[in-house]
Amino acid sequence: MKNKIKIARVSMDLTQQQLADKVGVTRQTISLIEKGKYNPSLKLCLQICYTVNKTLDELFWLEREEWRNGKN
C-alpha cells in the first residue's frame, strides 16, 4: 500500500511522533503506514490529510496498475 505520507510529513517539519499525536494514533501506526505495511482506515487517512494539508488523492491514490503490482 504505497503512499506519499513521509514526504508530506517532513515537508511539514513533523516527526512521526508529532504526526501521530496530532492524528491521535500511535507512532508505530504511522511508521507502518509510511512503510506501506498497513491498510489504514478511511478515517485515519482523512485525519492524516488534514494534518499535512493534502487531499486523499495526493497522499493515497494509486492507479489500478501500480495497485495490482503491489502485494496488497
Angle at 68 between CA 40 and CA 11, to 5 degrees: 50
Subset of residues 40 to 69 that bind a copy of itself, contact rule: CB under 8 A: 40-43, 45-46, 50, 55-57, 60-62, 64, 67
Dihedral, 30, 34, 37, 42 alpha carbons, nearest 10:
70
Residues near DNA, by CB under 7 A: 10, 15-17, 24-29, 31-35, 37-41, 43-44
Residues near a copy of itself, by CB under 8 A: 1, 39-43, 45-46, 50, 55-57, 60-62, 64, 67, 72
